[in-house]
Structure 1
């Protein structure tokens, strides 16, 4: 595997270490006597309302996974961290690219807004039908996170486009989280996960005084393919063991916090992450009686996938003593993510043009490279004010400005191994090229929300205005030959919200809310064109796409007491102009026809109406001071009203149970059960999907505070070595009911996770 990490981290990481390396001395010089131990507060969330609030006081379903839970469960990824959220899934493709995006209550991909410290995560780019290129939504190492917050339902009234299905907020650690009132702190964590034979390491140093606080975190991970329950180690569609894979990742996070006085707080965040994986794709495709695998001439298929992400964020909080506002928050940021997929194929006994399916006498090699780059540059302004105008009120208002720049390119060269002749003309296309030209999308959002108190009753109206414009730019790699051209597109929308919360007691709240959501089509859905003349399929853009809109109703109850708690919700989400990829029928004017043959043509189109409804419940009981029991359950149904067909993005019924035993502060243990019903109500019109059976998986975890500065966490997952499938993975991979080796898509068997954490 190429050792891109061997020379040390690069780019922003050098800047992080250079800046942060000079700060400890300055910070120590500014320090005063250590602060008193901070009083432990109830957990708060910020993503749901864009300001700090207790989760129990939010009119809607919001949950948080804390750093402590991430550590105790031995999580190495976001999928591990969210495994106990019954209405959340992370579809994964075990053939190559792994977890790619988040599904909340049946809504996924770019309809769920993901934020890292308030900065949008890069878009998900689907590999489509090739599985040779993709761009996943990248976040920091889970070791860098202090909390993951999940907000269900449309949140466009506060966040605008892309929040039509919910918001996932990642809050990274600040210096104060590690200092805990001290002036200096350092530590780290070492971990091992048998599921992918990975080793993980994290180290940090933090300093703090009256005015300056600094933090530098370094993380590194190295591992192999994730295990499954397959045993047939062969090449081709009969393979059931995982594709061999090696990966390596590095992450650097630096923060400088400057507080010159009580009114001002400045924070600079610098992050760099890079990773690379090398795969031997001995199995890539699926097959069924109606859709056989046709790539019979490919005898070797390897790839190298790399990702680089840089993030720079400047935050300023201004809280004057007396003004027409209580707080002014300003966030200026830029983030750039680059994905580079390289493929190396050997094709044997193929045609003179190196076909993947046609038999011949030639042997050749095919080298492909796909690059995708997206840059976000934005400015967020937020003001808060508490006042009394007849009634107590808490108002927030602000503006969001965002420019997203997108660029992609494709390069292919094939070589006849007998003659040594190479060519950049492949399956009728001339490379390098681009499926769509580079371009940008500008977004403006203006929002206001006011929480009005009537004694125990709170009414929260909200309103947001959004406008967007996507604009293609000149790109020499984009050259259409079929008369189609890339187009610009714009739109605007107003998203209202009305929430009500009634406090039955200090711990018990009833709520109801009405939300409207909005998402404009992205650049790729409008302007991407791709043709495969060999296998005769195509992807075509749709300049006539309309923005998606939604209406959501939710009612619920929340109780959070000292000994027990419960959270219950019922909801219905109605989507109009739902954007989905469909196969165009024969005779459609947008279907690609070449040589008198109609290609299987895919296009994003607006479905008329989609309905998703369901309910979920979560609860806990502090049975004794040492024993805590908890549970969760979620059920969701969804279908396309125009066709009556079910939505395949809906998860089966899922539940989780847990019992945590903490007899002292020095040690504890936990048992967890994750279960799901079998999947039914499937739309088989394009794929005869494998029906996943129900399952129940038991996990155990234990932790030991060996001494105040040393902690050991141990997790034993899938204790009884259960063979099971996740519907999200089956759907994501397109696994058919007639797959010859379904065990390829099984989840890992019994595995352990061990970590040692030290703090000084």
Structure 2
């Protein structure tokens, strides 16, 4: 399968590159405007790094229902996690977890928390795809723009604003959407309403979803116990309400309010643990779970078009955000009888962000200066208790991480320069961040302080209207999380312990990118090579020298060094211009190749993705009456030397065929249908096999869905 996939990829590259010779005028692929690359609106063609953006229109075309679907066809980007707790994070170019920053409308999202034991996992699951206007992916370190956690990249979710749905001259907008997906038997209904009246405009979006577990491949055994090959049964429903209103006081001042509430509840029957024995006399039965995840935010913002000496415009926002996870874990054991291990976690934050922009014109060119500051105060608290129903007692429990507060302060400046009659575009950025973590005084742990100065320098040179090259150097850092600093417990009865380490240093990264872009009437493409170097990786180290703890004493330390390098290609091709195909015909191709190693011992990095390519072929009627798209995703195997340990479970290569189509029978009514994994391939996402040995029980339980389908209906009036 690996050789087969590489042959397909090679042929697709040759076919795609051949279309570059057919025309010499500009097309529009790199006229797309993104924000994440510079914190200001810029055309992609003037960005000195590789940026991916998935618009709301693309999300609809892909029939995306979650963040996993949103990045399905993006080279070098995947999501991690599955099962009861769903998505646990993102992987960008081989770096994942809390090393990837997630933001919503410029608001920093809390880092994931997973203490292990399959009883709690607080991750990025509280986001509704139908509210998004775009998903922007900043590949590579982005700390000079966004501060800590953007060590390996940043994901920016931009929710819709009233102007996104209200066309110029329109004062009203109403859209109704409904859909069904067979992969998790989920129904959805969305109502979207917008209104413009004199100086006011507002938007409200409500989405309801009801579904079950995401299915695994049908070949897995439907049995109880650790060898179970089917997903554990689960039922969920979710609600999301987004409200925005803006008031234009005059031509210079606009004020905005935003509120959002997400809630998801689920009940699961964990058949994979039914009858499981840790040791004789300790067997699990009646294993179920009930979870509730919520996220809420309220905020105020202000845009000031000042045109004064210090700045042309100012945008600031003040936001309060709270996210809570309530996980109830029910079971019956021989030792404890019937119980509920209740595991709750809460993050709350108050965030202020201000950005000033100034355009300076000189004889040699222009400078777009951006500068500003960020201040974040956040709290994290765990609440554990175990209910023993047979005895009627409650154990208050001992959370692994104490209640703690964190403060982040950052200032930044950036110069986006247009030189040599705009043929040369140079971007230079500098940011200083200060971080302080303060655990609850009763914990006895020490305060942690760290800071970082990160830099970025990039340039784009337009050789002519069709060809440009770009190069960029950027830095990233990640302050240690509260979990890494203060996770501690002493289990002397079982001979092991974990110690806190408030003296950890931030992780650091340096990245180099070199790229080529071409843009013609028939095609546009981007080819980029990258090299990322990482130091001070935080890793756990276990010491077995203390005879009182024969199973070891574990502590986090800054000992890891790693490097990841690779090549990515993406291109769009208008087949009507290139080959005289029916007008509206197009093709797309993306390829991502990466290699990485642990510089301490030379072993492979398990988080690095195998060679992946996506080839698409589509058609859109010139009046948008109907259209269709075929996407073929080809992934090479990840096995043996691709893992840090050769005994890691093998992730075989695979080829996935997805087919989608839409039809507009009358104005403003659109029907979409999709068939996914049409060839019913049995496959695993390599991220779900990380750390699982080849003899791991129930490997089929980690497969992705087999053949599945979906249908969406949208009406706008």
Q: TM-score, normalising length from structure 2? A: 0.90
Matching residue of 2:428? 461
State yes or no: 1:104 paired with 2:92: yes
**Counterpart in the other structure of 2:301:** 315
1:279 to 261, 268, 271: 268
Instruction: Report how many residues are paired.
Output: 677
Hey, what does 1:370 align to over in structure 2?
343
Which residue of 2 is the match for residue 645 of structure 1?
603
Deviation track 1:388-419 (CA, whole Å, cap 9, x = no partner) reads 3453211111111111211112101334xxxx
Mean CA deviation greater in 229-238 or 493-502: 229-238
What's the CA shift string for 1:249-302, capped at 9, x where partnerless?
A: 000000001112221122111000111111111115999xxx999995112211
Residues 184-199 of structure 1 correspond to what in structure 2 (within 5 A)? 184-199=172-187
Matched, 1:157 2:144: yes
SS across alignment from 1:69:
helix
Is the 8 Å Cα contact of residues 87 and 125 (structure 2) preserved in structure 1? Answer: no
* Larger deviation, residues 521-530 vs 615-624: 521-530
Match status 1:379 vs 2:352: yes
For residues 173-199 of structure 1, the C-alpha deviation after alignment (integer angstroms, 9 at most, x for no partner) is 111111212101112100100111110
* 8 Å Cα contact 2:203-2:245 kept in structure 1: yes
Q: What residue in structure 2 maps to residue 89 of structure 1?
A: 78
Match of 1:421 among 381, 387, 391: 391
Write out aligned runs for 1:112-261 (5 A). 112-128=100-116, 130-181=117-168, 182-229=170-217, 230-261=219-250
Q: Which moved more, 1:191-200 or 1:310-319?
A: 310-319
CA distance in 1, matches of 2:181, 2:700: 22
Shift of 1:473: 2.1
Normalised by the size of structure 1, how large is the TM-score? 0.85
Q: Structure 2 CA distance, aligned partners of 1:146 and 1:295? A: 54
Mind listing any 5+ residue stretches in structure 1 that lack a counterpart?
Answer: 1-38, 355-363, 426-430, 479-484
Quickly say closer, same or farther: Cα 1:405–1:286, change in 2 above 3 A: farther
Local SS of the residue matching 2:271: coil
Cα 1:220–1:758 shift into 2, 3 Å: same
Q: CA deviation at 1:708?
A: 1.6
Q: Tell me which of 409, 412, 418 is aligned to 2:383.
A: 409
Post-superposition offset of 1:452: 2.5
Deviations 1:48-77 (A, max 9, x none): 111111122110010111111111111111
Instruction: Indicate conservation of the 8 Å contact 1:56/1:560, yes or no.
Output: no
Over 3 Å counting, the alpha-carbon distance change for 1:649 and 1:390 in structure 2 is same
**3-state SS of 2:95 partner:** coil
The answer on whether the counterparts of 1:607 and 1:640 sit within 8 Å (CA) in structure 2 is no
Per-residue CA deviation, residues 316-373 of structure 1 (Å, 9 max, x unaligned), is: 11112444311111111110001111100111xx34xx3xxxxxxxxx1121111111
Q: Deviations over 1:533-583 (max 9, x none)?
A: 676655433223111111111111122333201111111111110123x35
Q: Are 2:401 and 1:436 aligned?
A: yes
Instruction: Answer yes or no: is the 8 Å Cα contact 2:351–2:376 preserved in 1.
Output: yes
Offset, 1:756: 0.3
Of the structure 1 ranges 694-703 and 389-398, higher mean CA displacement relative to structure 2 is found in 389-398
Q: Match of 2:288?
A: 302
Other-structure match for 1:388: 361
Task: Return closer, same or farther for 1:59/1:640 CA change in 2, 3 Å cut-off.
Answer: same
Distance change in 2, residues 1:285/1:115 (3 Å) = farther
Contact 2:29 2:572 in 1 (8 A): no
- Separation (CA, whole Å) in 2 of partners of 1:204 and 1:166: 31
Change (3 A) 1:107 1:386: same
Q: Structure 1 CA distance, aligned partners of 2:224 and 2:103?
A: 40
Specify the SS of the correspondent of 2:145: helix
CA distance 1:40–1:575, change in 2 (3 Å) = closer
**What secondary structure, in the 3-state scheme, does the structure 2 residue paired with 1:234 have?**
coil
Instruction: State which of 402, 410, 416 in structure 2 corresponds to 1:451.
Output: 416
Gaps of 5+ in 2: 1-27, 577-582
In the TM superposition, residue 312 of structure 1 has moved relative to its aligned partner by 1.1
Separation of aligned partners in 2, 1:323 and 1:404: 35
In structure 2, which of residues 250, 253, 256 is the aligned counterpart of residue 264 of structure 1? 253
Q: Distance in 2 between matches of 1:522 and 1:543?
A: 10
Relative distance call for 1:345 and 1:735 in structure 2 (3 A) is same
